[in-house]
Structure 1
Amino acid sequence: MPATLSFTHTTRSGAAHPVTVEYERRGAGEPLLLLHGIGHHWQAWEPVLDLLSPERDVIAVDLPGFGRSPALPEGVSPGVPGMVPVLAAFCAELGVERPHVAGNSLGGLLALGLGHAGRARSVTALSPAGFWTGSERRYAFGVLRGMRAGARALPLPAVELLARSAAGRAALTSTIYARPGRRTPAATVAETRALRDAPAFADTLAAGRGTLFTEDVPGVPVTIGWGSRDRLLIPRQGVRAKKTIPGARLVRLTGCGHVPMNDDPALVARVLLDGSH
């Protein structure tokens, strides 16, 4: 069952802000923090949790302003500079020192940020944001805005009706999944609602407008995985990521889309376990 943790985060300016994070924790072993993408929730990782938990203490979070976690308080940026210290404080409150960190999309960017800050034992980034050209970023943001607008325009009964069929699930989620028919109806409805209701969506997207990841991640093992059928952040961005982080291992996730955990759970779990040794 998910748990909720409330704590006080103190910024560099000395201001203290209350933060609340919902998370799911399973398994035993070295800690592995899982971070989802924009508009999603911790359940994006559900297909791989039972594959990871026999070997890792898995902590999948709803990022602030997504899922069931309230948005960050006013004065704390939802971008990388604001989120990395918040996630580090969350881990400290749990008593988890320098976990392995894996993230997808926005979560991949945040995972790399934690690694660069010395807050991660290892980093596995699946289609991380921040390695785009200007035109690629504008395309991705336009697609995300369209997905959000569609989720907000559809009444819940219409979403539930669409989710009953493989074709309907493809209509709702094929932008991020290569195999949307594998998503369950309940999961499809839940993630559509998560996208529709996310209070931090607009601010997080705005914060990412000028974001480029240009730093190496020294002293931390880094794995970058990219779905061969990623339609949101196209796979050539993985080559740029490898050039930015020369020591990283670049893995092709064959047949996977932007959110690969549901497309091939066994492959993604193996990549995460190999990357967190």
Structure 2
Amino acid sequence: MSATVSFQVASPAGPRDVTVDYARVGRGEPLLLLHGIGHHRQVWDPVLDILATERDVITVDLPGFGTSPGLPDGLAYDLATTTAVFGAFCEALELDRPHVVGNSLGGLIALELGRGKLARSVTALSPAGFWSPAERRYAFGVLLAMRHISRRMPLPVVERLSRSAAGRTALTSTIYARPGRRSPEAVVAETLALAGATGFDQTLRSGRAVQFLDDIPDVPVTVAWGSRDRLLIPRQGVRAKRVIPKARLVRLPGCGHCPMNDDPALVARVILDGSR
């Protein structure tokens, strides 16, 4: 069941009201799942049932993505603000230092929450922020191209392509290593989510100066990378391990940038192991 929560976040001009949409299922210790730029919370659907057998799982649409409204005037789409948003979100839902899992941008946010002692454990799947300048430019170029295509492709064309494995490959092979496994309905929905993401441009612009450089010594951290990630190439995981020496670095064979779809059982096991 989806739900909506509103809370206040500080800004230079005073508190601002922020509203986000989320869903919650399962029981156990709280586990917060954060998606990447241009995506929505349904990207976690392939692993949701497995995780919910052991965790109280909260999936959330980042502000300006999915069905969550954009941030109000006075709040920037930068890492500091987004971290503050999810700190306030956890307070509003009375989540006492949840385990936090994130993919791509969500992985970077999860690491920031861990660095701020707001998470009891962090699992980051292909997190942003460990790129070289050239790798960042490449990734941003690919994301902008995907956004451009999604906004200009008529819906009937997206629906027609999504009905075949070849069409789903054409639409999503940048982020999935096994795009044929994604359902037609999911491919249509995430294409529309990318096209309609009001926070996309500002979030991408703010990421130009982002580099994760701080260790997280007091929080268990798992960094997992798909061996077939075409957006953030796997060698960035080695850099992450250098920055966070105590992190558990896990290779996800045959998985792409969003590995939850490519191998749900493996990714769910990595998440549950990281949150134990």
Q: Give the TM-score normalised by the residue count of structure 1.
A: 0.99
Percentage of matched positions with identical amino acids: 67
- Measured in 1, the distance between the counterparts of 2:122 and 2:73 equals 29
Question: Structure 1, unaligned stretches of length 5 or more?
Answer: none
- Asked whether the 8 Å contact 2:13–2:74 carries over to 1, the reply is no
TM superposition shift of 1:73: 1.2
TM superposition shift of 1:10: 2.4
How is 1:89-104 mapped onto 2 (pairs within 5 angstroms)? 89-104=88-103
How many residues matched? 276
- Asked whether the 8 Å contact 2:7–2:89 carries over to 1, the reply is yes
Please say if 1:19 is aligned against 2:39: no
**CA deviation profile, 1:115-170 (whole Å, cap 9, x unmatched):** 00010000000000000000000000000000000001101111001000000000
- Measured in 2, the distance between the counterparts of 1:71 and 1:51 equals 31
Please say if 1:51 is aligned against 2:50: yes
Question: Once superposed, what is the RMSD of the aligned Cα atoms?
Answer: 0.7
Runs of 4 or more above 2 Å deviation:
none
Please say if 1:9 is aligned against 2:28: no
**CA deviation profile, 1:14-50 (whole Å, cap 9, x unmatched):** 7111111100100000000000000000000000000
Question: Structure 2, unaligned stretches of length 5 or more?
Answer: none
Q: Residue 186 of structure 1 corresponds to which residue in structure 2?
A: 185
How is 1:201-212 mapped onto 2 (pairs within 5 angstroms)? 201-212=200-211
- Measured in 1, the distance between the counterparts of 2:152 and 2:113 equals 36
Q: Give the TM-score normalised by the residue count of structure 2.
A: 0.99
Q: Residue 110 of structure 2 corresponds to which residue in structure 1?
A: 111
- Measured in 2, the distance between the counterparts of 1:197 and 1:30 equals 33
- Measured in 2, the distance between the counterparts of 1:241 and 1:76 equals 29
How is 1:210-249 mapped onto 2 (pairs within 5 angstroms)? 210-249=209-248
Q: Residue 199 of structure 1 corresponds to which residue in structure 2?
A: 198
- Measured in 2, the distance between the counterparts of 1:32 and 1:22 equals 16
**CA deviation profile, 1:159-184 (whole Å, cap 9, x unmatched):** 00100000000000000000000000
- Measured in 2, the distance between the counterparts of 1:37 and 1:273 equals 20
Q: SS at the partner of 1:31?
A: strand
- Asked whether the 8 Å contact 2:126–2:257 carries over to 1, the reply is yes
- Measured in 1, the distance between the counterparts of 2:81 and 2:8 equals 14
- Measured in 1, the distance between the counterparts of 2:137 and 2:13 equals 35
Counterpart of 1:7, as a letter, is F
